[in-house]
Structures are given as C-alpha cells and as structure tokens.
Amino acid sequence: MIRFGSDSLKARPSSRFTALGLPLRLLGASVTLTWSLACGTEPNPARDLTAPFQTSALQYVFTDDGYQWNLSVPVSYTNNRSLPVRLDYCDTSVQRRSGFNWSTVYTLPCPLSNVLGTDSIPPNGTVEFTYAVHSPHDPNTAPRLPEPLAGIYRVIFGLRERQNPNPGLIVWQAIPAIEDRRSNEFAASLPH
C-alpha cells in the first residue's frame, strides 16, 4: 500500500503470471536493467543546459594506444560570473554515475603550475578546450580509471575566481560549489 496524504493506492501486478513471487513484467524490467548496467549500455544522458561546462557530444568512445585507454572530451565554458575566473588542474576530477550517486574515479596529479591555462576568462568570455583522460593498462600506475570503463561520466573542473581584497593584490579564490563547476553528463564506451 502506498499512501499520499489521506489517499492510498494499492500496487497490483499487471500480470497474473509470476516468477519468484514477482510479476513477469516486473521481473523482465529487472533483468533488462541488470543486463544494461553490466554491459555498459546505459542510455545516453540528455543534454543538461544548466551545466556550466558543456561537452561537444553526449557519447564518446575510448581509444587504445596499446599502453593506455584515452578519452578526449571537447568542452566549452562561458563565464557567467561577475569576476574573471581561471581553470585549475589541482581541483579537477572525473566522476562516474552509479545509479543516482556520483563518485570520483579519476583525479589528475597536481602539476607545478596549478592552472590549465595562463589566461583568465573575463565575465561573459568563452573558452573552448579538450579535456583528456589517460588510463594506463598497468594496474600499478596512476591516475587510472577503475573498471569497467564504460559508463556515464561528468567532469568537475577546478575553478578560481579573481578577488581584489586590496589595491595591487590579486587572489584567485577557489569556487567550492560543484553545481558551478560541473560538466553535463556524457556516456563513454569501449570500441566495438
């Protein structure tokens, strides 16, 4: 019985035939969902225009150069903030969706220079670049994506906003909110 306020609904099977106590129609949906997740054939995500970072496509395919899996994702970002921003490698990560949850699966090592580019992005300015993921076959190397590789991903970009607390002093303050730093979801699969 499902209750909504003072109303209640009774769930009834749509079929009289059951297997393991479940209606066959429901069991079939469960088997289909399990097969899709295990085989990495989740449906492509829909375009989310609320994501600040937009990928050029919703489906990508890993390539194999013999040493590592590679994924190149063209990205576009428009600075809708009132102050200039910079992209920051040290706070950028790749997340993979599992059901309704996201978990970080790949983070770049922090290089000596902590910004992707040397230029800041002015308010209303747009930058286009390719974000690359390289996942070595050797399990003793890092960074490396956990298997299975196929799945639904998003990139959380490090983003810093220019602050001028005092004349002549510039500080690049990290923007903490993931909603301000995320790409849209995209599917990545292995070559057939």
CB 185 within 8 A of CB 97: yes
Q: Topology of domain 53-189, per CATH?
A: Immunoglobulin-like (2.60.40)
Dihedral sign for Cα 83, 84, 90, 94, please: positive
**pLDDT > 90: what percent of the chain?**
59
CB 73 within 8 A of CB 53: no
Alpha-carbon distance of 62 to 134, in angstroms, equals 9
Other Cβ atoms within 10 Å of 184 Cβ, number = 19
pLDDT tens for each residue of 1-58:
333 333 333 333 333 333 344 443 333 333 333 333 344 456 679 999 999 999 999 9
Would you give the distance in Å from CA 90 to the centre of its chain?
Answer: 17
Domain range list for the chain = 53-189
The residue among 75, 153, 147, 154 whose CA lies nearest residue 116 is: 75
pLDDT at 111: 64
Alpha-carbon distance of 3 to 26, in angstroms, equals 21
How would you class 118 by CB atoms within 10 Å of its CB: exposed for 0-12, middle for 13-18, buried for 19 or more? exposed
Alpha helices per DSSP H over the chain: 24-39
Q: Is the pLDDT of residue 132 over 80?
A: yes
pLDDT at 112: 44
Supply angle C-alpha 79, 117, 106, rounded to 5.
Answer: 90
pLDDT at 172: 87
pLDDT tens for each residue of 168-180:
788 889 999 999 9
Copy the structure tokens of residue 135.
Answer: 């996942």
Rounded to the nearest 10°, the torsion over CA 36, 41, 46, 47 is 150
Dihedral sign for Cα 84, 128, 96, 67, please: negative
Q: Is the pLDDT of residue 74 over 60?
A: yes
Q: Which amino acid does the sequence have at 86?
A: R
**pLDDT > 70: what percent of the chain?**
73
Query: What's the mean pLDDT in 69-96?
Result: 93
pLDDT at 39: 45
Query: What's the mean pLDDT in 55-65?
Result: 97
The residue among 15, 34, 38 whose CA lies nearest residue 26 is: 15
Alpha-carbon distance of 176 to 96, in angstroms, equals 19
